[in-house]
């Protein structure tokens, strides 16, 4: 894939009520992968608790956008803010502190540590986030996701759906304000996909977290009111109205 990806119109999601948490705002965002690929993105304004999917053909920059929103990558141009925090700050230390405190990221392939149990995986995430009482919190997060009977199992001893729930528990145990999820249903059958989706949305609701999900799956995309479709030239400007 080479050349510039077309600029999409701005997406604005306005809150129904007074905002209770930080808004996620991007402005003038682009990212260059090597010399060949430049991805450009629409400006986003997402109030706390907004739920949005990112869809679009392969290679249009969905995962790259998640990485920019998480502070894993720095944009080539533009900025990302989460409340007062400049997520796109040049200092890696600032971006890392933001990630630890505010971001829950569920990778498509879960990225669980193979040598650690489910409980240890979640506990490690909490320790990295600097959370108090990591053991107790990991236990609670796994119990809440119906994994109380799998605490001591290593990832290879778990089903795909269970591994996904461990990854979700790890992502949410420190109560992040921003929950970013890449292809949550890629490895699941239809009924498990529906359950995983419900779980994601309920968990984000409980936390009051902003939820952004990259997906190719129409089941997921259709379940959300708000969708950012990358690489679509035909879209007229979007006014997505209320936050939910």
Ligand X SMILES: Nc1ncnc2c1ncn2[C@@H]1O[C@H](COP(=O)(O)OP(=O)(O)OP(=O)(O)O)[C@@H](O)[C@H]1O
Contacts to ligand X by CB under 6 A: 1, 33-34, 37, 39, 58-64
Write out the two tokens for 220: 């997921």
Which uninterrupted H or E stretch holds 197?
helix 190-207
- Compute the least distance from the CB of residue 53 to ligand X, in Å: 13
Nearer to ligand X, 27 or 33 (CB): 33
53 versus 64: smaller Cβ distance to ligand X: 64
Q: How far is the CB of 86 from ligand X (least distance, A)?
A: 22
DSSP states of 61-74? SHHHHHHHHHTSS-
Token couple for 214 = 């990259």
Alpha-carbon gap, residue 218 to 228, rounded angstroms: 13
| Phi (first) and psi of residue 152, to 5 degrees | -95, 5
CB of 11 to ligand X, least distance (A): 16
Q: Which is nearer to ligand X, 120 or 183 (CB)?
A: 183
**Shortest Cβ distance from residue 37 to ligand X (Å)?**
4
Cα separations in angstroms, 163 against 61, 150, 192, 203, 217: 26, 10, 12, 16, 19
CB of 222 to ligand X, least distance (A): 18
Look at strands 24-33 and 3-4 and give their pairing. unpaired
Nearer to ligand X, 4 or 16 (CB): 4
Nearer to ligand X, 26 or 64 (CB): 64
Angstrom CA distances, 134 to 146, 149, 171, 238, stand at 18, 19, 13, 42
């Amino acid at each position: 894939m080479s050349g510039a990806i077309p600029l999409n119109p701005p997406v604005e999601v306005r809150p129904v009520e007074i905002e209770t948490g930080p808004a996620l705002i991007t402005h003038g965002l682009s990212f260059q992968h090597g010399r060949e690929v430049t991805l450009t993105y629409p400006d986003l304004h997402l109030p706390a608790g907004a739920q949005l999917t990112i869809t679009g053909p392969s290679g249009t920059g969905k995962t790259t956008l998640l990485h920019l929103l998480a502070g894993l990558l720095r944009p080539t141009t533009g900025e990302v803010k989460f409340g007062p925090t400049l997520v796109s700050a040049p200092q890696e230390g600032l971006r890392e502190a933001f990630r630890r405190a505010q971001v829950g990221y569920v990778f498509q392939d879960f990225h669980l540590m193979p040598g650690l149990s489910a409980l240890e995986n979640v506990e490690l995430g909490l320790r990295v986030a600097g959370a108090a009482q990591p053991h107790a919190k990991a236990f609670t997060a796994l119990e809440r996701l119906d994994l109380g009977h799998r605490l001591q199992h290593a990832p290879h001893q778990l089903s795909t759906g269970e591994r996904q729930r461990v990854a979700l528990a790890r992502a949410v145990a420190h109560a992040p304000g921003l929950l970013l999820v890449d292809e949550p249903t890629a490895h699941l059958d239809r009924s498990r996909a529906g359950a995983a989706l419900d779980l994601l949305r309920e968990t984000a609701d409980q936390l009051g977290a902003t939820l952004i999900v990259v997906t190719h799956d129409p089941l997921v995309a259709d379940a959300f009111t708000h969708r950012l479709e990358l690489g679509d030239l035909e879209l007229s400007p979007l006014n997505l109205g209320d936050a939910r």
